[in-house]
Amino acid sequence: MTRKIDQAQVKKVAKLSRLELTDAEIEEFTGQLSAILEYVEKMNELDTTGVEPLAHCLPISNVFREDSVKESLGTEKTLANAPQRDEDFFKVPKILDDSSGA
């Protein structure tokens, strides 16, 4: 079995994903990912001439509702169940500190 992905690539993806993998996990994932790519490559051998591309496995078409203008809820109904509010606005916890530069 020829490896399609090497350990360096698995380590790079793990680093980008912020995953800490053991050497055993790196070895295991290298084999698993290589097997997946080999399977996909095997599917490329199929003759798909005349096969229409699918967007969905069932024969459905645009299932969206008609777009229509409706009356809005209004401020009081919208904010009625808000945990906290500041006049006509939702009040949410601060997520950035002053040193974030945002």
Please report, in tens digits, the pLDDT of each residue of the chain (102 residues total).
556 899 999 999 999 999 999 999 999 999 999 999 999 889 889 998 988 888 778 877 777 888 889 999 999 999 999 999 999 999 998 888 777 665
Count of domains observed in the chain: 1
* Model-wide pTM > 0.75: no
User: Residue 28: inside a domain, yes or no?
Assistant: yes
pLDDT at 66: 84
| 32 within domain boundaries | yes
Q: For residue 2, what pLDDT is reported? A: 59
Does residue 98 belong to any structural domain of this protein?
no
Decide if 67 is inside a domain: no
Whole-number Cα distances in Å, 6 to 32, 54, 82, 99: 11, 33, 51, 41
Q: Which parts of 1-102 are beta strand (E)?
A: 85-86, 89-90
Distance CA 27, CA 6 (A): 9
- Do residues 86 and 94 make contact, with C-beta atoms less than 8 angstroms apart? no
Q: Name every residue whose Cβ is closer than 8 Å to that of residue 95 and which is 6 or more positions away in sequence.
A: none
Asked if the structure places residue 78 within a domain, the reply is no
Domain ranges, residue 32: 7-43
CATH number at residue 25: 1.10.20
Residue 88, pLDDT score: 93
- Reading the block at residue 27, the tokens are 């070895």
Write down the pLDDT at residue 11. 96
